[in-house]
Every structure is written in structure tokens, then in C-alpha cells.
Chain A
Amino acid sequence: MRAALTAVLGLVALAALAGPWLAPYDPAAQDLALGAAGPSAAHWLGTDEMGRDVVSRLLAGARSALFWPVLVALFTTALGTSLGLLSGYRRGWVDALLMRVVDLAIAMPGLLVLIVVVGVLGGGYGWAVLAMAVLFTPGDIRVVRSLTLAQRELAYAEAARTLGLRPGRIMFRHLLPNLAPTVVANALLSFTGALVALAGLSFLGVGLPAGTPDWGLMVEENRQLLDLNPWASIAPAALITVVACAATLLGDRAFESMSKGGVR
């Protein structure tokens, strides 16, 4: 199961890296005479309204579909874990202040804000990625903090303090390894969240210029063609679904196996 999930993600990643060489056509090349045609030997998944090859466009979209979510996941996990550890370990006023901000941020209807901000300000992936990092980090902070609060009271953490170890060492060498299952699961959750949100934004036609080879945008632009060439919008929708599910399942499995490994 786990191997299969990793294989799915690996394959998509490979397609993202090697996309330009694998693609049979130029993703932007139009063949207006052809129009929206169904699958054929020349075009495996058919073409869209402008006669552009669906397979080539999917390959071209893979890179941004994966790259930005990975960036968001790395950023939010690193920042959320560090701040959560610090907040939970140090407590005091830093913690109190941070938690106020976090509570507020979590209570916000996040995706709604995202749609509005990106929609009004425009600007492609840039604003979206930044806004997403800001929106996702508080959740990570809260989860890591509450686990840190529990771990720091355990005898091993008290023993580490009694031994006079530096706080940095206690946080990162003693506490962090015991939070690893959650951190990994969080990272994969952020990845899925960002993937779905970015694709969703482009599906709404928010943030990206029309015609960009992007999975979400392809679903949106080709959904009127469900009777002519359904694959033009079903294939990107299915791809988003498969990648998102694989990442979620992998996170779930990783969490389970890692928490079984360590004895609490």
C-alpha cells in the first residue's frame, strides 16, 4: 500500500521534472481545425476547444501543480514546527501572544479570504502561495505546541532540564524526534491543502491568465466540453484527486507506523 502510494507520487514528480521532454506536442500549439476532439492515436486524451493536446498540457501543468504546494508545505512545516516548539516549551508571554494570533487566524474563513485577496489583487501564484503559507502555519503551530506542552512535562524532558542541557538542544534533540510522526503528517497535510487550494483558485478563474496550462484551470475551461471530449476536464480533475488522496493516505500511514515505532 505504502509502496504503491509512494510510486504514484514519484511518477507524478517524474512527469513534472521530465514533462517538457515527454510531451508529444507543444502545450500551447493550437489546431483550431481539429477543435475539441476525443481520444485518438495522435492525441491520447484528445484535444481541447482550441485543439491543444490534453496530455501535453497535463504534463506542462504538473510542475507548477507540485512545486508550489511542496514549497508551501516546507515553509509552513518549518515555521509552524519551530514556533510551536518555542511557544510550547518556553510558554510565558511569547506563547500567550502567539496563541492569540493563532486563534484569530484559525477562526478566519481562510479559503474565503484567499479567494478574495487573490481575486482582487491578482498576480498569479505569488500572492496565493504567500497567503496560503500565512493561513496554514497557525494550524501547525497549534498542533505542535499542544504536543510540546504534553511532552515537556514527561520525566525524560524534566531529566534533560535537570541535566542542564541547553533549551535548543532539549527542543530539537529531545522533544522534536518524539513529535516526528505529527510533523511528517502535518507536512503532507499542508501539501494536500495547498495543492487543492491552488487548483481550486485556478478553477475559479482567480489569479491566473486564461490559457495557462494548469490543472485547475483546465478543469474549469474544459468543463463545457463534457459531451465533446470529457477527458479534457476529467483527466486533470482525476489527477488532482489521485495526487491529493495519495499524499493524504501516505501521511496517515506514516503517522500510524511512526507512532507505533516509538513507545510513549
Chain B
Amino acid sequence: MAVLTLLGRRLGAAVLLLGVLSALTYGLLLAAPGGPEQVLLGGRPSTPETRAAIREQYHLDDPFPVRYARWLGDALHGDLGTSVYSREPVVTVIADRLPVTAGLAAYALVLTVVVGVPAGLLAAMRRGGRLDQGITLGSLAALSIPSFALSILLLYGFAVRLGWFPVFGEGRTLTERITHLTLPAVALAAAQAALVVRQMRAAALDLAASDFLTFARARGLPRRRVWTSYALRNAALPVLTVGGLLLAANLTGSVFVERAFGLHGLGALLIGAVGQKDIPVVQALVLLGGVIVVAVNLLIDLAYLVVDPRVRKGAAA
């Protein structure tokens, strides 16, 4: 029962968030300079006839709530309109660009986990030592470096000067793609990994000082048992909490990183669309961002349900 209430509440919040986000994005069309007709016409010359045609086609004479409801209904059916710039359906435009961004995000996520978790644990184990100070300082720095600045520095160092990696593009074959995406993924992963390092270190330190871990050792439990069912499971909880933050970093970070490395992913698409005032594409991308945020947060809630009996039995919100 408690599980259902919890899920219900979270779903409600998700719907509310998407509602607000969609209303905001739809409102963009009205707020854009030149008004909606101009935006939807794109760069084409406007005559009274074309304007009337546009008004007719997009039902611009209906009251705002009605138009918004119609647009939302279409969006829910997967119809996100047509790109003003390329004249293709928005869904096709996005599907074209998705693989690059998805590959980049996945690569960065792997780097984040592979580097962040061990580094955080290592820092906690060597608490106060040189290594810990180094890792802590490094993670703080990585957390504050803007991803585009890091991109430029990496690009100059490893691509221009050392020539280890390509400067531009995303490659065709799988191996090419991996080498092309390495530097961007590092730039994207730095801040996320730093977040994981800090969270992991704090969780491990909390754990090391916890009575229940001492009590487990005092009962002479085997090392493996202490590590798995005590240390890892309990440390997973606080690390899980930053999952949402990681995702936000991933989403916005990829916009900058794609720009810096000249990758043609969703981030580049967004910037292009913003520049060309291609509002239908912008709307779709913002909605997509919102849906991803909501979906990942729901996944994290589910993970909590699985790991933590207190949440499962409704003892904690």
C-alpha cells in the first residue's frame, strides 16, 4: 500500500513537472520576437496570404488554452510538428541526431562509474593521506571547471598538440567512433565523476564509522559478506541520490561538449534550432529533456524501493 502511495505521489509530481515544462515551451512560440506567424514561416517572405495560411494551419486564431491542448494532444501521439528550417518532421530530425548524443552520454556514464567509484573508495580508505587530499582537491576542481573550457583544453592538448585524437567529427565505424568520442566523453564525465567521487567518499567514511559495520566485524562475519551486504548496499543509497544530478549534468553538458568538438548530436541541434528560431524543434527537445529527467528520477525511486526496506514499507518519504 505504502509503495502505491509513494509511486502515485511521484507520478503526480512527474506529470506536474512535464505539464509546467510543456506550457513554458509552448509559450515560447508566442514570446518569440516577431510573433508566431513570423517564426513558423521561417525565413520565407510573408504575404497576407501566407500569413493567413499559417494561422489556419496552426489554428492560431483559437484561444491559447485550446491551441495548447491541441498541441499537447498531438505531442502525446508522437506528432511534434514539422521543423521550420528543414521541413522534415521533428521526430525524424531528432531520431537522426540521437545516436551520437546517446553514445556520448553512455560513454561518459561508463567513465564516470569506472573512475568515480574506485577513486572515492580509495580516498576514503586513505583518509587524510596525500592520495586522499589529491583526489578530494581534484574532484573539487573537476566539479567547477566548465565542460566547454575543459573541452578546449583537452582539444588543444591531446588533439592539436599531441595528435592522439581527432579534432573534429564523430567517425563512422565503431572503433572510429570510440576514438572520436573519447575526448568529448572525458570532458562530459569529469564533473559527473567528481560528484560520484565526493559522494562515494562521504558514504564510505560514514559507513566506516557506523556502529553496524563495527558490529558486523565484531561478529567475525566473512570479509565478503561485510563488503557486499553491509558496505556496498548501504553506500549505494547516497550515491543513488546524486543520480538525478548526474543526469542534469549529462544533459546540459552534452550541449557544450558537442559544440566544442563539432559533434552533430542533439545538443548541436538545440543550439542550431535556437539560433534559427526553429521553435517546434526547440519545444520537442525541451520536452524530451523533461521526459528523460522524469523517467530517470522515477527509475531512481524504483531502485530505492528495491534496495531500502524503509522506503518499501513506507517508513520514510
Contacts and interface: CB of A to CB of B under 8 A. Distances in A.
Contacts of A112: 251-252, 255, 270, 286, 289
Contacts of A227: 160
A192 B145 CA distance: 9
Contacts of B297: 107
Majority-rule SS of A interface residues: helix
Given A104-B17, A109-B252, A120 B279 contact: yes
Which of B160, B167, B260 is most buried by chain A, counting CB atoms within 10 A of its CB? Answer: B260
6 contacts: A117-B28, A120-B31, A122-B33, A204-B255, A226-B167, A249-B144
Contact of B259 (A111, A204, A240, A248): A204
A116 B274 contact: yes
A104 B275 contact: no
B23 interface: no
B88 to A, nearest CB: 21
Interface in A61-101: none
Contact of A110 (B31, B146, B248): B248
A237 B149 contact: yes
A117 B282 CA distance: 10
A228 B261 CA distance: 18
Interface string A225-259: 01100100110011011001101110010000000
Tier of interface size on chain B: 35 or more
A203 B257 CA distance: 11
Given A104-B20, A115-B270, A241 B28 contact: no
Given A230-B160, A241-B146, A248 B140 contact: yes
B31 A199 contact: no
A121 interface: yes
Contacts of B294: 107
A109 B260 contact: no
B70 to A, nearest CB: 21
Interface residues of A, number: 43
Interface of A: 103-104, 107-113, 115-117, 119-122, 192, 196, 199-200, 203-206, 216, 219-220, 223, 226-227, 230, 233-234, 237-238, 240-241, 244-245, 247-249, 252
Given A116-B282, A248-B143, 18 more contacts: A104-B13, A107-B293, A108-B290, A109-B248, A111-B248, A111-B252, A113-B24, A120-B31, A120-B274, A199-B146, A204-B256, A206-B274, A237-B148, A238-B153, A241-B153, A245-B140, A245-B141, A245-B145
A134 B167 CA distance: 37
Interface of B: 13, 16-17, 20-21, 24-25, 28, 31-33, 137, 140-141, 143-150, 152-153, 155-156, 160, 167, 244, 248, 251-252, 255-256, 259-260, 270-271, 274-275, 277, 279, 282, 286, 289-290, 293-294, 297
B270 A237 contact: no
B152 A204 contact: no
Given A107-B297, A113-B24, A120-B28, A203 B248 contact: no
Given A112-B286, A116-B274, A119-B275, A233 B140 contact: no
A107 B13 contact: yes
A212 B296 CA distance: 39
Given A113-B24, A204-B271, A237-B153, A196 B17 contact: no
